[in-house]
Amino acid sequence: MTAPARLHLIRHALVEPSARAVLYGNMDVALCERALRQEAALYRWLAARLPRPARWVATPLSRTRATAAAIFAAGYPAQEIAIEPDLAEQALGEWQGISHEALTERLRHPPHPFWPHAAHERPPGGESLDDVRRRVGPVIERLAAAGGESVVIAHGGSIRAALAHAMDLDAHRALMFSVKNLSVTTLEKHGRDWRVVSVNEEPFWPG
């Protein structure tokens, strides 16, 4: 039996505090230096957990490449990284850079129970999560068609969009997934069918 193609999707590391105070969407913001130091053990876990060999993919936003660099520094052999623009985070248009409090005045629809805005709401000049799903789906299909193992450093929005594509979910349901920073979501492609192996995988630290 032919081995399935496998995609290991990792959400980038925590961004710096001032970015977290606003809606940053696909703005190019830096990682939190303090968190990078505090989470050294988590990077070592990722360096040991991820498959070798594997193709590495990131987005044009620097926080994904910086996350990959931290994994390499923790012990995974440094790799050439392919850049996939269509895996970038949701573009929030005119909402980018505004505070979370200011967002409530601009919403046209009730927010999602687990997200600041509805999945189908499209900010002026930006994208809805449905739009993100439409651009992410072809990328993960292409990566799966290449076979083997792929490590993809991406974003909460694009990982939820990948899950929506794989499970044929609407974007509202995709927002019900928790995707934590530095967690691993693993998808397999068996012939024409996707299988979800894990979502939001984190290390188990024995007490």
Instruction: List, for residues 87-101, the tens digit of each pLDDT value.
Output: 999 999 999 999 988
Sign of the torsion formed by the C-alpha atoms of 143, 148, 151 and 156: positive
Rg for the chain (alpha carbons), in Å?
17
Instruction: Assign domain 5-201 to a CATH class.
Output: alpha beta
Q: Which pair of structure tokens corresponds to residue 22?
A: 């606003």
> What pLDDT, on the 0 to 100 scale, is given for residue 207?
45
pTM metric for this prediction: 0.94
pLDDT at position 1, please? Answer: 63
For residues 11 and 189, give the distance between their C-alpha atoms in angstroms, rounded to a whole number. Answer: 20
CA atoms within 13 A on the CB side of 129: 27
Q: H or E segment at 132?
A: helix 129-145
Regions in the chain scoring below 50 on pLDDT? 207
**pLDDT tens digits for 173-199?**
999 999 999 999 999 999 999 999 999
